Amino acid sequence: MIKDNASMLIKNKQSDFFKNGETLHINNRLKRLKALKKSVNAHETEISSALKKDLGKPAVEIWLAEIYIVLDELNNVIKNLQFWAKPKRVKGKWLNTPSKDWIVPEPFGVTLHIAPWNYPFQLALNSLIGAVAAGNTVVLKPSEHAPQTAAVIKKIISEVFPETWVAVVQGGPKTAENLLQLRWDYIFFTGGIKVGKLVAKAAAAHLTPITLELGGKNPCIVDQTANIKVSARRIAWGKYMNCGQICMSPDYVLVQKSKSEALITALKSEIVRMYGEDPMKSEDYARLVHEKHATAMVNLLEGQDILYGGKYDVQNRYVAPTIISVNNLDNIIMQDEIFGPILPILIYDNENEIDQIIQHYDKPLSFYVFSERKKWANKLMKKHSYGGGMINDVIVYFTNQRLPFGGVGNSGVGCYHGKYSFNTFTHLKSYVERTTWFDPIQRYAPYGKSFPLLQKILRFFS
């Protein structure tokens, strides 16, 4: 395959710009990040309009989950960057005494970011913010499935950064494929597992470090002690927000048999309360990204035991909030991440079944437990492996920048948010500063009888 000349030209220009050292100055980074914050605020109406056109998102969800998250990330980075980027002196070892031992954060260089369509503004900018804060340059490819949002992102970025620092490259899979052929200093990808593996393979060809933000089948366990009303409200909110197109949303519910009917009834009530009797008319219910994805959801519903919902209009990218009953893990809907507004309900009787079902799948991105038994819930949280999780709530752990966000195994590689974003895009370089006035001869050959003494000294100070 022939490499895309335009992409290569941008990448080469960024390489030259990075070598000039302008991004190494903290004040230069802060100046651009502050300008980015100003530009996001100035274009808030355009951002909202674009997201509404692309995904039918309600205004409240647009502001909270797209715009506010970006502004909050910017505020946090601007406030803390001077401290994060400062070289740190650490205690030396006896063998090097006297010395000054340093850890110096340095940027990787030219980074590639491939963003998804489900949160096309927030997920594109948040990784970019971390990369710029760490002193890297960025080539960003927003999703072609959110074209209006991609256009606004390009407009904002072009106002704030020269193309030699941050460039937005628009296009589809072919563009992404061409970009991945180039040798980058770091690649950050958010999307599905299948494409994530292709990104990892492309990165491996150049030994390029990567972060993969993927997904998985996120379990939501509801035991017999759970507050059913609150649990149902929070589960329904997390599942049907953005029409289920959230990598952290509950993929399926695993409920204790004695509480199953009560939970299903409460979930139905919450759907009606949030979106009305006809969610298609609700201004608070989003749409699927395109007809192809809507068709995929409809196909998943074929032959299912539908407890609620199930209505659809593929042409209008609409699938109603739906609840289905699932009796076995061979069901087609239990094979892969759903990424849509269909919530399977599985029932367990014995608590040993919980482990069996969860361990049937790869490690999920998110893990949720609803229970009033704190000790039991914490035991589950510590026992299983996942990216991030919550007890008695869903999704909102994502908003705490003090927590690393990322998957494990098939749900992702690496993490970001807040200082973790800075760390992700930073190489920690170490060096030791020595003097020449102290230079014991026992260190050097011929060692002779001095080695036993050196051994004793080193053992003593170890």
**Which of the residues are catalytic?**
213, 247
Whether residue 365 contacts residue 248, with contact meaning beta carbons closer than 8 Å, is answered with: yes
> What six digits make up the tokens of 169?
């490259």
Taking the C-alpha atoms of residue 87 and residue 296, their distance in angstroms, rounded to an integer, is 51
Q: What type of residue sits at position 461? A: F
Give residue 231's identity as a one-letter amino acid code.
Answer: S
CA 311 to each of CA 320, 398, 401: distance values in angstroms, whole numbers, following the listed order: 5, 31, 38
Residue pointed to by tokens 């230079």: 439
Rounded Cα–Cα distance for residues 332 and 15 (Å): 47
Cα–Cα distance for residue pair 255/348, rounded to 1 Å: 6
Report the alpha-carbon distance of residue 462 to residue 457 in Å, rounded: 9
Alpha-carbon span 126 to 189, nearest angstrom:
12
Q: 391 burial class (0-12, 13-18, 19+ CB within 10 angstroms)?
A: middle
* Residue 363 to residue 407: CA distance in whole angstroms: 8
